[in-house]
């Protein structure tokens, strides 16, 4: 398998999942501005949407959209327990968080990354993120992970999205639970390996 990524982007989540799962894979960096892979290929020929992540399987099939990719990875390696088994309520709690992060956190960052966003758009995005962060922080009170008693693909995604707060200069000081979660997940060997591979950690 090959994971197409851009350092620190949402592709970090499946990168972490692949390493946690212990699966064999390669990576190729994508220049999102130029829509070119490190090898010089037109990335839009791989993912017509032009954004990461994309996971190219050994049979040539390409999966896109981070939440779908991490579920696929989790199910390829059930022994890694990145997603509880079918029928367990913890599985659906993890999937619920995966969707929440995608729609309520990830998407609300968009105006903060766009140079043409107005000040009003940015202010609204920050207010919405603050509300959502508060919700997640309350949930994490007294918990090590988002769902169940162990690390899941939802935790990898939340870790990734929390990392963007530094990029857009959004302080997490009001949410010590989020800061503690980020430090805790960031200390995992697979997470450290993914960060180093993407040039985000020395």
What is the structure's pLDDT at 31? 98
pLDDT (0 to 100) of residue 6: 98
pLDDT for res 148: 83
The pLDDT confidence band at residue 44, using thresholds 50, 70 and 90, is very high
Topology annotation, domain 2-80+190-197: Glutaredoxin (3.40.30)
Query: What is the token pair recorded at 28?
Result: 């190729």
**Domain layout of the chain by residue ranges:** 2-80+190-197, 89-188
User: What's the Cα-to-Cα distance from 159 to each of 9, 34, 49, 124, 142, rounded to whole Å?
Assistant: 11, 27, 24, 23, 17
What pTM, to 2 d.p., does this model score? 0.97
Confidence band of 202 (pLDDT split at 50, 70, 90): confident
Q: Which CATH architecture has domain 89-188?
A: Up-down Bundle (1.20)
**What confidence tens digit (pLDDT) does each residue in 133-169 have?**
999 999 999 999 999 899 999 999 999 999 999 999 9
Q: What is the pLDDT of residues 25-42, one digit of tens each?
A: 999 999 999 999 999 999
- Torsion over CA: 131, 135, 141, 147 (sign): negative
Confidence grade of residue 187 (pLDDT, cut at 50, 70, 90): very high
- H or E stretch covering 132: helix 119-140
Those residues whose C-beta lies under 8 Å from the C-beta of residue 189, and which sit 6 or more positions away, are none
- 88-130 pLDDT, tens per residue? 999 999 999 999 999 999 999 999 999 999 999 999 999 999 9
Q: Which residues contact 127 (CB under 8 A, 6 or more apart)?
A: none
% of the chain surpassing 90 pLDDT? 98
């Amino acid at each position: 398998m090959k994971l197409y990524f851009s350092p620190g982007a949402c592709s970090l989540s499946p990168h972490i999942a692949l390493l946690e799962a212990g699966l064999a894979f390669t990576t190729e960096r994508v220049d999102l501005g130029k829509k070119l892979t490190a090898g010089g290929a037109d990335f839009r020929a791989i993912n017509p949407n032009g954004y990461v992540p994309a996971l190219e399987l050994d049979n040539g099939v390409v999966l896109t959209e981070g939440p779908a990719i991490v579920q696929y990875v989790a199910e390829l390696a059930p022994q890694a327990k990145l997603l509880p088994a079918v029928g367990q309520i913890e599985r659906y709690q993890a999937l619920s968080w995966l969707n929440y992060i995608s729609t309520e956190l990830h998407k609300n960052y968009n105006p903060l990354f766009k140079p043409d966003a107005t000040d009003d758009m940015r202010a609204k995005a920050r207010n919405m993120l603050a509300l959502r962060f508060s919700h997640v922080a309350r949930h994490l009170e007294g918990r090590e992970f988002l769902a169940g008693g162990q690390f899941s693909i939802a935790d990898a995604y939340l870790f990734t999205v929390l990392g963007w707060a530094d990029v857009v200069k959004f302080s997490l000081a009001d949410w010590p639970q989020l800061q503690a979660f980020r430090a805790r997940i960031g200390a995992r060997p697979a997470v450290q390996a993914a960060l180093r591979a993407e040039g985000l950690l020395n």
